[in-house]
Amino acid sequence: MSLGRLGLGRLGRELFLVCLGALLVSAVLTWPTLLHPASTVPADLGDPLAQSYVVAWGGHALLTNPAGLWDASNFFPEHMTLAYSDSMLGYAPFGLIGSGPAAALVRYNLLFWLVAALASVSAYALARQLGSRVPGALVAGLAFAYAPWRLAHAGHLNVLSSGGIVLALALLARGFGYSFSRGYQPERVRPGWIIAGWLVACWQVTIGYAIGLPFVYLLLLCCLVAAARWLLAGRARPALGRPLLWCTLGGGLLFAAVVVVMARPYLAVTTAFPSAVRTVAELQLFSPSPVGFFTAPTTSWLWGNATSSVYKTFVAPAEMALFPGLVVLVLAFAGLSYSAWRGRQRIWLGIGLAVGTLLCLGTNFFGGAVTYLPLLVLPGWDGMRTPGRLILWVMLLLGLLAAGFLTQVQNDLEARWADRSGLGARWRAAALVVPALLVAIEGVNTLDHPAPEPPPAQLQAAAGPMLMLPSDSWWDSRAMWWNTAGFQRMVNGAASFSPPSTDEIRNSAKSFPDAGSVDYLRKAGIRTVVLVPDSTYGTPWQQASGKPIDGLGIKRTYAGTAIIYTL
């Protein structure tokens, strides 16, 4: 059956084919993520396991206790612990599907596949709305979704979840009838698309503020600029119809309300724990150097080996390797002088590119005194310590410049050869897809897909609150994933910071099991301790499994590779 018979118009057919292609490309470029989704995770056993717990908790809380959504089961005895890192509440509906650790991995792997597809479709849609032809939009979409720098964040689903940002911009641009090629066209205003854009923007904010906060301020800036231009237009200002006005104001107010509601738990956490606020010293530690723009992660199939010697010298490699890809760089810089976009538009894109690049450097451009540090006055910005993540805005601008260049090339070729049909036209169209294929090749990765050890079956019935040993910022990611078996309250937790109570309990339990540690844990309200002997080498609990428990009044149960102590 043809797409036409399905009732799809030209736009619908294009979107259908682009979405289908994006899913297939994502499956290939994230392979073998979908091969064993219930037993492996991409990248490593750190953040992916912790974030699989976060998504699972969202669904669990919606089903059992929506009022206690922010009081996740980790970091006992603290509260509002879901706000210790990005909550990813936008993915909570995924948490309603299935239960247990295996289901948590399946959800995470499906999201890892889908977020890449969404990012590519979103950037494609924005480029098309602004006036790009298909070959240029393909480059913009693939570059935004699969640039080498993103491989450094393969374990950070919250950072990879940037598709909603660009999709919201594309929908709003379409709703307001704006494009680079035609400018603002009041007759093309579509309130429904405006509403859709604001709703997607709201959804994006519910994922978190690691990349969502700059998006909030960008939308605010766009609204202020648009309002100022309208007011300064004088008699030439276009009339605002009532549907346009209500959709714009209503959507903006809804977005503001979502931003405030989502921000309150984070503000409560920073008030209770001032250490959660980032210092200038932390910014200096995580700020990339200019060489980072030419350094790819070691998991880049094409560029990893070439830049590995530099990559290994970075203090925080995942935040400092910012290579956008060679193809999009060449096309984008060509697009600054030869493009389908008008000169003024190219100038603004170039200015945005320069500003974004300098902001990515954090404190490594004249100490950040005139670039990044002034942003700390913005509410919430002091909770961010990784300036390099602003590279996603640089990538978006590079993709749009590249799309303008390829669109102009295509226009000139068709003008030179008037016959737009026949073998010659097909060869020209095929040749224009080559840049997109080259961009995709630069996105090929060599990511590991390790298999975490499943939790013991007895864990689901164990009484909480519990403490899993060993416990530190790395191993607690696995503890959080194990916790999806029953969601008992537990001391363990992996987030952007640890509260003092967690560090105190860890330190007091270093001699476990002995009289002092058992007595302390009981007074702290902990009823179960889970020890994984195979993981304790080099930790204070290396000899814990062999210690006698006579006279301690506790019960020891061997459960596969773990030992469960009932206090």
> pLDDT by residue (tens digit) across 312-326?
999 999 999 999 999
pLDDT > 90? residue 42: yes
Cα 146 to Cα 446: distance, rounded to the nearest angstrom: 13
Residue 6: per-residue pLDDT: 46
- Smallest CA-to-CA distance from 278 within 387, 384, 390 is with 384
Q: Which helix (DSSP H) or strand (DSSP E) does residue 86 occupy?
A: none
Q: How confident is the model at residue 483 (pLDDT cuts 50, 70, 90)?
A: very high
Cα 219 to Cα 199: distance, rounded to the nearest angstrom: 13
Query: Per-residue pLDDT averaged across 460-470, rounded?
Result: 93
The percentage of the chain sitting over the pLDDT mark of 90, rounded to a whole number, equals 78
**Which burial class, exposed, middle or buried, applies to 96 when counting CB atoms under 10 A from its CB (0-12, 13-18, 19+)?**
middle
The residue with tokens 């549907």 is 243
Query: Per-residue pLDDT averaged across 409-416, rounded?
Result: 86
Query: Per-residue pLDDT averaged across 528-541, rounded?
Result: 94
Instruction: Please provide the distance, in angstroms rounded to a whole number, between the alpha carbons at the two ends of the chain.
Output: 65
- Smallest CA-to-CA distance from 125 within 73, 170, 186, 182 is with 170
- Number of C-alpha atoms within 13 angstroms, CB side, residue 40? 13
pLDDT > 90? residue 278: no
Query: Per-residue pLDDT averaged across 90-111, rounded?
Result: 95
Query: Per-residue pLDDT averaged across 66-82, rounded?
Result: 95
| Contact (CB, 8 A) for 498 and 476 | no
| Contact (CB, 8 A) for 320 and 388 | yes
The rounded mean pLDDT for the chain is 91
Cα 146 to Cα 160: distance, rounded to the nearest angstrom: 10
Q: How confident is the model at residue 233 (pLDDT cuts 50, 70, 90)?
A: confident
Q: Which residues pair with 565 in a beta bridge?
A: 529, 556
Residue 1: per-residue pLDDT: 45
pLDDT digits (tens, 9 = 90+) for 5-38: 544 578 888 899 999 999 999 999 999 999 999 9
Tokens representing 239 are 């009339």
pLDDT > 80? residue 186: no
Q: Which residue has the higher pLDDT, 328 or 381?
A: 328
pLDDT > 80? residue 309: yes
pLDDT > 90? residue 229: no
pLDDT digits (tens, 9 = 90+) for 124-161: 999 999 999 999 999 999 999 999 999 999 999 999 99
Query: Per-residue pLDDT averaged across 223-244, rounded?
Result: 78
pTM for the whole structure: 0.93
pLDDT > 80? residue 111: yes
Residue 497: per-residue pLDDT: 83
Residue 425: per-residue pLDDT: 65
pLDDT > 80? residue 423: no
